[in-house]
Amino acid sequence: MADYQTVISGGTVVTGSDVARADIGINNGIIAAIGLNLKGESYIDADGLVVLPGGVDSHCHIEQLNDRGGSDEETWTTGSRSALAGGTTSCITFAAQFKGQGILGTMAEYRRRASKAMVDYSFHQIISDASDEVMFREVPQIVAQGVRSLKVFLTYENSYLDDHHFIRVLAAARRNGCLVTVHCENYEAINWRTRALLAAGMTEPKYHAWSRPVMIEREATHRAIALAEMVDVPIQVFHVSCAEVAEEVARAQHRGLKVWGETCPQYLTRTASDMDRPGFEGAKFMCSPAPRDEAAHAGQWEMIRRGTLDVVSSDHSGWSYDSVAGKRAGGPDASFRDIPNGMPGLGSRMAVLFSEGVSKGRIDLCQFARLTATNPAKLFGLTQKGSLAPGKDADIVLFDPAKKVTITNALMQHIIDYTPFEGMDVTGWPVLTMRRGEVAMKDGVVLAQPGSGQFLARGPYDMIKPLGRLPDGFDASAFEV
């Protein structure tokens, strides 16, 4: 007699801490058992395959509204199709606030748009205007809806916060039990160098990197950490581009602070010289912070091995090369300042990291599971996600570790018309994705239905509780200032 509706049999099961040849029994979308010779009503043969927790991509931009009244090109349907094709089952995307706006109305609009998702999802709330109304009255309401992370930009025209307003966001996070995620680059320094580069006629895509050298990322990271330490609130530093920046995170961690570091495949595989490709091709590799060089990649892997950088997300950002709002919309001579930043990566994140990390011997399978699923799920309070254990959602990806694939844009299944990983040969590929017990992708064919994704409301959790270490013991965040 069968004990389980579905059994994934005979695979190499990987958790954040162990690797074992075992079966996984699934009932009603939940992992019911991990064991040997489990009896199922139906079986998925995983012989020769690696069985991993479904990917959790805690940093991707999907249908994000912009301050010109439009939105990212990537839609929830195409974005989640790409995610499932690439082995990712949960995404945390962004709800953006613009100056002069509140956050409650926009959150409702983001929830409405995400109702077409095929992956499970949550949001980071971007704060670009730390007004009294938002800080003291609206943030508690979005937290009550299950949004537990606030996102801050320390650069970008129209989005960046100065120190005063950043501190107010940190204080709001402390009052409401949120994590703050931070884009760390120095707005004023980038602005100054950009104006000088444009004055010198140095406008091609490669000068994007010149506008934002390493020390301005390092300075902003140091400042973000110091201010978060003053307010006593946990932060995650987004998209760390190199070891010099990760060292700021490491120093904070050595002091016992709740500071975490994220990086992305582009900071492990792409370089500033990609932005110098012939013609306008370099625009495809423009993102912020800018990709560095090959020596930086080696430093990044070391920071991953040490655990300083413990999450690898995609920072999937939705701009095509050729589209009305895309990279080339300003014409072939557009200055780097006017080219939209960001690159797609939802569909490639897991395969690129598996190939460059596991297949090349830089990380082991358990580290891969932690970086792509377990750690982001824990850090962001997705308690049902990120781990293969009884009681967790049956979000599972089967990787063929020997499968060799050359990445093409068609394989990504996103709406964007290019991938920055075009032509990359990878070893290891996701062949089946299961989301809450249902086969959502098999052999590259996405089977999930739009609207089958679920909103993941996040409650309070210990990992992001303040340390209780305030300068002079004085809690300034308790005051409406």
Residues that bind ligand URP (CB under 6 A): 61, 183, 239, 287-288, 315, 317, 341-342
In the complex, the residues that contact Zn ion under the rule CB under 5 A are 183, 315
Q: Which does 414 bind (CB under 5 to 8 A by kind): Zn ion, ligand URP, none?
A: none
Q: Which does 57 bind (CB under 5 to 8 A by kind): Zn ion, ligand URP, none?
A: none
Q: Nearest distance from residue 183's CB to ligand URP, in Å?
A: 5
Asked whether the beta carbons of 238 and 179 are under 8 A apart, the reply is no
Closer residue to ligand URP, CB minimum distance, 323 or 341: 341
> Residue 458's CB: how many other CB atoms inside 10 A?
22
The 8-class DSSP code of residue 340 comes to P
Asked whether the beta carbons of 268 and 243 are under 8 A apart, the reply is no
Q: Which does 291 bind (CB under 5 to 8 A by kind): Zn ion, ligand URP, none?
A: none
What does the angle CA 239 – CA 54 – CA 394 come to, to the nearest 5 degrees? 145
Closer residue to ligand URP, CB minimum distance, 79 or 342: 342
Query: Strand runs (DSSP E) across 184-296, as ranges?
Result: 235-237, 259-263
Closer residue to ligand URP, CB minimum distance, 274 or 315: 315
Q: Nearest distance from residue 315's CB to Zn ion, in Å?
A: 4
Q: Nearest distance from residue 245's CB to Zn ion, in Å?
A: 13
Closest-by-Cβ residue to ligand URP is: 342
Q: Nearest distance from residue 183's CB to Zn ion, in Å?
A: 3
Q: Nearest distance from residue 317's CB to Zn ion, in Å?
A: 6
Q: Which does 204 bind (CB under 5 to 8 A by kind): Zn ion, ligand URP, none?
A: none
Q: Which residue has the tokens 């020997």?
A: 402
Distances (CA, A) of 84 to 81, 173, 241, 346, 348: 5, 32, 26, 9, 11
Closest-by-Cβ residue to Zn ion is: 183
* DSSP H helices in 332-470: 349-353, 365-369, 375-379, 409-412
Element housing 472 (H / E): none
Nearest C-alpha neighbor of 236 from the set 329, 307, 149: 149
Q: Nearest distance from residue 352's CB to Zn ion, in Å?
A: 17
17 Cβ neighbours under 8 A, 6+ residues apart = 366
Asked whether the beta carbons of 416 and 320 are under 8 A apart, the reply is yes
Q: Which does 341 bind (CB under 5 to 8 A by kind): ligand URP, Zn ion, none?
A: ligand URP
Length of the chain: 481
Determine phi and psi for 242, rounding to 5 degrees.
-165, 170
Q: Nearest distance from residue 344's CB to Zn ion, in Å?
A: 12
Asked whether the beta carbons of 174 and 114 are under 8 A apart, the reply is no
Q: Nearest distance from residue 214's CB to ligand URP, in Å?
A: 16
Asked whether the beta carbons of 435 and 119 are under 8 A apart, the reply is yes
Closer residue to ligand URP, CB minimum distance, 136 or 321: 321
Closer residue to Zn ion, CB minimum distance, 183 or 378: 183
Q: Which does 261 bind (CB under 5 to 8 A by kind): ligand URP, Zn ion, none?
A: none
Q: In the numeric block, which tokens belong to residue 129?
A: 């205007």
Closer residue to ligand URP, CB minimum distance, 143 or 287: 287
Q: In the numeric block, which tokens belong to residue 3?
A: 């004990």
Closer residue to ligand URP, CB minimum distance, 63 or 315: 315
Q: Which does 411 bind (CB under 5 to 8 A by kind): ligand URP, Zn ion, none?
A: none
Q: Nearest distance from residue 35's CB to ligand URP, in Å?
A: 42
Q: Which does 287 bind (CB under 5 to 8 A by kind): ligand URP, Zn ion, none?
A: ligand URP
Please spell the DSSP secondary structure of 280-301, one letter per residue. Answer: TGGGGG--SSPP--HHHHHHHH
Closer residue to Zn ion, CB minimum distance, 362 or 414: 414
Q: Which does 185 bind (CB under 5 to 8 A by kind): Zn ion, ligand URP, none?
A: none
Element housing 24 (H / E): strand 19-27
